[in-house]
Structure 1
């Protein structure tokens, strides 16, 4: 079977199951509510409606608000493409569908390459969902507060485009994680524990401990935020260290994906399938 046919097969596996649209729906609602509420709060601060004890002066530059609100999709929603990427691999081990896959495509490297290509497509789908989940509620909220939505700016559209790239890369990282940790339950626990607890704490520590600042910049989510060019976490996670350039952030996140995929290819992917 050719790589194109194998990739088509991998896409069929994903889109004929409920996992992708359930995660997509949860992402849409979760990020949408977050974007609407956060957009109202930041918009009120930027418009001076919430003074914070500073009279009627804005306490947040209005020009920064749209990019921060739209970047909520990647700042808080990157766990969704990461999970779907991990499930693309671990579900094969859990439901023992990898055996017929290897019988149809004996070259295991081709199967893994097909999952990577399919992961890019699926990551872009989740990226579109992420963009919609922030722009659709966020832009009207900002407009209702008398602020610019930024949708007329090429910089905003470039940011949204980089968000799509970030989602695709996060899906590849998930595929790599699933290739290394093939137990589905363990993989999900690892993903949730790292994204919701370990990494936020590490980034917070990097904002206050000078020695940790250079390390914090190279954490996966920090690299993702640098790639996008904006982050809702920048308000709550101060850091004296300058973020990476957008292209460097993308390369770092790609590096994580490559390392995990290669590690899975030389370990788990070569083992006998039960």
Structure 2
């Protein structure tokens, strides 16, 4: 089977299950709630402050929650796209139809990148649809007429696509579904936030913290709640293109290690 056939097969596998749209629905609700909470807080607590120059970039902060809190969903989708096949043994007919396993993995990476882009659009639509009216109601700048805001939207969508690739890499590296999800949630929800918090308090640690995947994602987008919370240390974020390269590096390392180890093992 050629690459186009493998690509079509991967798209079919995802779209014929409920997993992709259930995760997308939860993502939209979660992001809308978070953006709404921030938009209401900024609009109510600091009415007109941004127009007066007192607070800059709050609209970007509100919209960036699409990635700040939403990135875990494309990662989960990417991880499940691999571990689900291992668990349900659908890799066997896949490898019989496409003996070149590298072709299968490449098709899966491209497919999940596209789904990650879709998740990015969904998340941004939710954050803007809820956050922008609340900011406007509080006489805050929405930034929707600013080209820089739209550039941030593009980077946010790209970040979500890369996060989905990271999910595929993680699933390839840890094919056991339960183990992969536990590692994913433990790192994204506990380990990295703790490490980044330590970076705020321990001098010199922030330099290491900005190369963590979440920090790299924040740098790519250009704004995040965590970066604002970190105060002056947020100035230490990588440039957006550097953040993108670091994020891609994490995806590539996980996928390559998984491809040359667990992906080559026999399946039944």
Cα distance per residue 1:121-160 (max 9 Å; x no partner) = 1111111111111001001111111112110000000000
Number of equivalences:
267
Shift in Å at residue 235 of structure 1? Answer: 2.7
Match of 2:64 in 1: 71
Please tell me whether residue 198 in structure 1 is matched to residue 168 in structure 2. Answer: no
Of 168, 177, 180, the match for 2:170: 177
Of 240, 253, 266, the match for 2:260: 266
Higher deviation after alignment, 57-66 or 95-104 = 57-66
CA RMSD across the alignment: 1.7
Query: Following the alignment from structure 2 to structure 1, what is the Cα–Cα distance between the partners of residues 204 and 221?
Result: 25
Query: Following the alignment from structure 1 to structure 2, what is the Cα–Cα distance between the partners of residues 248 and 47?
Result: 35
- TM-score scaled by length of structure 2: 0.96
- TM-score scaled by length of structure 1: 0.94
Shift in Å at residue 15 of structure 1? Answer: 1.0
3-state SS of 2:144 partner: coil
Aligned 8 A contact 1:204 1:238 in 2:
no
Aligned 8 A contact 1:46 1:60 in 2:
no
Shift in Å at residue 25 of structure 1? Answer: 0.6
Query: Following the alignment from structure 1 to structure 2, what is the Cα–Cα distance between the partners of residues 154 and 81?
Result: 26
Of 210, 222, 235, the match for 1:229: 222
Query: Following the alignment from structure 1 to structure 2, what is the Cα–Cα distance between the partners of residues 59 and 201?
Result: 35
Query: Following the alignment from structure 2 to structure 1, what is the Cα–Cα distance between the partners of residues 160 and 137?
Result: 29
Question: Closer, same or farther in 2 for the Cα pair 1:254/1:8, shift >3 Å?
Answer: same
Match of 1:53 in 2: none
Runs of 4+ in 1 over 6 A off after TM superposition: 57-60
Shift in Å at residue 44 of structure 1? Answer: 2.7
Query: Following the alignment from structure 1 to structure 2, what is the Cα–Cα distance between the partners of residues 45 and 150?
Result: 19
Please tell me whether residue 118 in structure 1 is matched to residue 111 in structure 2. Answer: yes
Q: Any stretches of 5+ residues in structure 2 without a counterpart?
A: none
Question: Closer, same or farther in 2 for the Cα pair 1:239/1:257, shift >3 Å?
Answer: farther
Please tell me whether residue 154 in structure 1 is matched to residue 147 in structure 2. Answer: yes
Query: Following the alignment from structure 1 to structure 2, what is the Cα–Cα distance between the partners of residues 59 and 254?
Result: 39
Aligned 8 A contact 2:43 2:136 in 1:
no
Match of 1:80 in 2: 73
Match of 1:216 in 2: 209
Q: Any stretches of 5+ residues in structure 1 without a counterpart?
A: 50-56
Shift in Å at residue 228 of structure 1? Answer: 0.4
Cα distance per residue 1:217-272 (max 9 Å; x no partner) = 00001000000011121232335351100000000000000000001100011101
Query: Following the alignment from structure 1 to structure 2, what is the Cα–Cα distance between the partners of residues 64 and 42?
Result: 11
Query: Following the alignment from structure 2 to structure 1, what is the Cα–Cα distance between the partners of residues 109 and 249?
Result: 14
Cα distance per residue 1:5-41 (max 9 Å; x no partner) = 1111101101110111111111110110110011111
Please tell me whether residue 96 in structure 1 is matched to residue 96 in structure 2. Answer: no
Cα distance per residue 1:91-145 (max 9 Å; x no partner) = 0001100000000000000000000110111111111111111001001111111
Match of 1:52 in 2: none
Match of 1:46 in 2: 46
Match of 1:105 in 2: 98
3-state SS of 1:17 partner: coil
Aligned 8 A contact 1:213 1:239 in 2:
no
